[in-house]
Amino acid sequence: MSPDASSNRPSDAPTLADLPDPAALLFDLDGTLVDTVQRRIEAWWEALRRGGLTVDRSRLGDYIGSDGRWLAREMAREQGRELDYAETEEFDRVSGAIFDELNAAPVPLPGATELLTALEESHLTFAIATSSRPGQVAVSVNALRLPAPPRITDGSHVVNAKPEPDLLLASAAELGFPPERCWYIGDSRWDMMASVRAKMFAIGVTTGAVDAAELVAAGAAVAVTSLTELLAELRRRGAVR
């Protein structure tokens, strides 16, 4: 977790108040809406170990949020091993299965349920855009206890997930809004990179494994400490109650 993002922000850096009004908001899931990053790290460490790849757990945090097949390929290349598509798919599948076992009782991150509930009751459209496999999404989304099922675009909807922009573009298209009018909120470098490539406004939240400086370096227009800050700004604009 990160210290107060505002304490590391240059005085002339943009704030949420400087951004134009969004037509729609898209959210990452793991580490942004639900506190699952450590479980993702453990699941990937064990999947890689079973596949003959020894990786330092502390390094995996930087890769959480990216396309799982890409993650497996990058970890293998560092050890001089090239994986074909079937092998990367198997690593991703095994990691997902382990994560499902570990993720029995996910907890929403501060402000997540309140924010999404306020959006549900407002004129602002929102969706979840996550690289996760479909079967891994339901438990975490259910933990948010929202008044209605949210729209979700998951990793099965695209060939290339984050850091490529395909997932975000598919989600924006489903909502019916041009990407440049959307805000994308995420906790990882890959979220920010995908958002910039999709020409969305990238908002980093320091509830995952990287700090504000890393999020800004990856392309975040603004970094905040929690979704509570985002909710307060939307209320200030009169966009939600």
Q: Name the CATH code of domain 5-36+106-236 (choices 3.40.50.1000, 3.40.50.150, 3.40.50.2020, 3.20.20.140).
A: 3.40.50.1000
Q: Provide mean pLDDT across the span 152-165.
A: 91
Half-sphere exposure of 146 (CA within 13 A, CB side): 26
pLDDT of residue 14: 87
Write the pLDDT tens digit of every residue in 28-49.
Answer: 999 999 999 999 999 999 999 9
pLDDT of residue 6: 43
Considering the chain, what percentage of its residues have pLDDT values greater than 70? 95
Q: Does CATH number 1.10.3720.10 belong to domain 37-102?
A: no
Lateral strand order in the sheet of 182-186:
151-153, 125-129, 24-27, 182-186, 201-205, 222-224
pLDDT of residue 5: 44
Spans of all domains in the chain: 5-36+106-236, 37-102
